[in-house]
């Protein structure tokens, strides 16, 4: 299948007259704020159901594993859809795809709380995962095209910061709403907030100035993605997305179990506040992006991965202060590495950037699913020490591979 007429695929801008956006300009602020809001709405909508999973189990009379599908079907369908949606953005443009994605996901988000059964709710969440794919699939490519390379790290860091706050707010707003509202109204409150933010996104997001529409086909998309994978530097960044996201999700998946059990025995409400540590990632993603612009991506990336490993080791002792401090360091390191790596993908992929960015995110979400599930075996076998060993192995592999293969990329590409 081919989309578009190649004869009509002509450049829409004169790149000698239109310059990429630099930090400090009004348009740069609009672009980065719009993408920050996009991260808020997308990741908030993605994870808003996580806080109501126990309520879904009770209300619909299903097993916890079934209610957990309200999150996993969304992220799973997003992963499967992200590359095809990125290909559509090559043909129809970056901003139309992002806006259509945000609007569709908001409409579905308003409908999810009205679901009369668990089956309908899961179906709506699955379709919402498809709708949500448009923002993460295109955002990195859009920034790489519109923002000057010297300021790309900072711009990407702000977008990643928006994703961390969105993921946090999606959980916290809904969880707080449960204190005074039913689960349906708690979710509806966040859905309404997401709708308001989407209006802000639509009004702020400038149209693409440098994107040239291209003819799209399934064969061409597969060929483009394969070409990116064959490039050593990009291949390493894709591997890092798989390993680091998988390890990060694994640690958070089982951290709650550890805090509820001996010797801590913390109340469930207190354990839920652990997600506030995500704010460390909000800070580190922006900071890492700016540092990468100044001293080079490789240096900051390796330092961030090392922070993940250090934070993981700090969580080993059965001592609450070091456990929480280690989780902060782990979270800051992960989001710092993700901010730098995602920005680097857009810079290295001089052609077909949307496919490159979506391939990175495909590995990111597949790592979350595959490594996160496999970590359950490590936890069953060795408890928290098993998680540290398994995740630590992945972090060490990521550090060694990145240090070796990216040796010739010390300066920001």
User: What's the distance, CA 132 to chain centroid?
Assistant: 11
- Average the pLDDT over 367-392 and give the result: 84
Residue 2 lies in a domain: no
- Which has the higher per-residue pLDDT, 376 or 118? 118
Same domain, yes or no: 127 and 141: yes
The domain spanning residue 122 has which CATH number? 1.20.1250.20
Residue where a domain stops, chosen among 187, 216, 245: 216
Q: What are the φ and ψ backbone dihedral angles of 2, each rounded to 5 degrees?
A: -125, 135
pLDDT 10s digits, 281-314: 889 988 998 898 888 899 999 999 999 999 999 9
Same domain, yes or no: 134 and 226: no
Same domain, yes or no: 179 and 110: yes
Residue 252 lies in a domain: yes
Q: Say what the pLDDT of residue 131 is.
A: 93
Neighbouring residues of 241: CB distance < 8 A, sequence distance ≥ 6 = 338, 341, 360, 361, 363, 364, 367
Range of the domain at 35: 17-216
Residue 406 has pLDDT above 70, yes or no: yes
Q: What are the φ and ψ backbone dihedral angles of 21, each rounded to 5 degrees?
A: -75, 135
Same domain, yes or no: 207 and 230: no
Residue 31 contacts residue 244 (beta carbons within 8 Å): no
Model pTM? 0.74
Q: Say what the pLDDT of residue 125 is.
A: 94
Residue 27 has pLDDT above 90, yes or no: no
Q: What are the φ and ψ backbone dihedral angles of 240, each rounded to 5 degrees?
A: -60, -40
Q: How far is CA 217 from CA 60, 80, 101, 214, 361, in A?
A: 43, 17, 21, 10, 21
- Average the pLDDT over 244-263 and give the result: 83
Q: Say what the pLDDT of residue 10 is.
A: 40
Residue 361 lies in a domain: yes
Same domain, yes or no: 117 and 66: yes
Residue where a domain stops, chosen among 186, 216, 246: 216
SS3 147: strand
Q: Say what the pLDDT of residue 225 is.
A: 79
Residue 13 has pLDDT above 50, yes or no: no
Please, what is the average pLDDT of the chain?
A: 83
Residue 43 contacts residue 105 (beta carbons within 8 Å): no
Q: Say what the pLDDT of residue 49 is.
A: 83
Q: Say what the pLDDT of residue 84 is.
A: 85
Residue 1 lies in a domain: no
Q: Say what the pLDDT of residue 58 is.
A: 82
SS3 3: strand
């Amino acid at each position: 299948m081919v989309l578009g007429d190649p004869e009509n695929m002509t450049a829409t801008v004169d790149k000698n007259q239109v310059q990429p956006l630099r930090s400090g300009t009004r348009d740069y602020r609009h672009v980065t704020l719009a993408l920050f809001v996009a991260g808020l709405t997308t990741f908030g909508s993605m994870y808003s159901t996580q806080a109501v999973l126990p309520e879904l189990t009770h209300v619909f009379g299903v097993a916890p594993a079934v209610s957990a599908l309200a999150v996993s079907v969304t992220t799973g369908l997003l992963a499967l859809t992200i590359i095809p949606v990125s290909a559509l953005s090559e043909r129809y443009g970056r901003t139309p795809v992002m806006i259509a994605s945000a609007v569709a996901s908001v409409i579905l988000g308003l409908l999810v709380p009205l679901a009369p059964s668990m089956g309908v709710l899961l179906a709506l969440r699955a379709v919402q995962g498809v709708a949500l794919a448009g923002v993460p699939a295109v955002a990195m490519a859009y920034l790489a095209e519109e923002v000057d390379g010297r300021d790309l790290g900072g711009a990407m860091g702000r977008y990643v910061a928006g994703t961390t706050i969105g993921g946090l707010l999606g959980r916290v707003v809904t969880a707080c709403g449960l204190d005074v509202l039913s689960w349906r109204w708690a979710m509806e409150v966040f859905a309404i907030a997401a709708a308001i933010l989407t209006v802000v996104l639509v009004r702020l997001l400038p149209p693409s100035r440098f994107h040239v529409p291209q003819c799209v086909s399934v064969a061409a998309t597969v060929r483009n993605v394969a070409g990116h994978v064959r490039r050593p530097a990009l291949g390493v960044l894709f591997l890092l997305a798989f390993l680091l996201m998988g390890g990060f999700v694994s640690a958070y998946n089982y951290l709650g179990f550890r805090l509820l059990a001996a010797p801590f025995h913390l109340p469930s409400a207190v354990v839920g506040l652990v997600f506030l540590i995500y704010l460390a990632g909000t800070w580190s993603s922006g900071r890492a992006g700016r540092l990468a612009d100044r001293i080079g991506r490789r240096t900051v990336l390796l330092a961030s991965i090392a922070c993940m490993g250090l934070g993981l080791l700090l969580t080993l002792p059965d001592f609450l202060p070091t456990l929480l401090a280690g989780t902060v360091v782990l979270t800051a390191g992960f989001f710092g590495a993700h901010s730098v790596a995602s920005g680097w993908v857009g810079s290295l992929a001089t052609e077909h950037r949307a496919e490159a960015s979506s391939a990175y995110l495909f590995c990111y979400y597949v790592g979350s699913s595959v490594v996160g599930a496999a970590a359950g075996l490590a936890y069953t076998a060795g408890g928290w020490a098993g998680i540290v060993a398994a995740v630590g192995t992945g972090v060490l592999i990521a550090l060694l591979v990145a240090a070796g293969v990216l040796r010739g990329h010390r300066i920001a590409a």
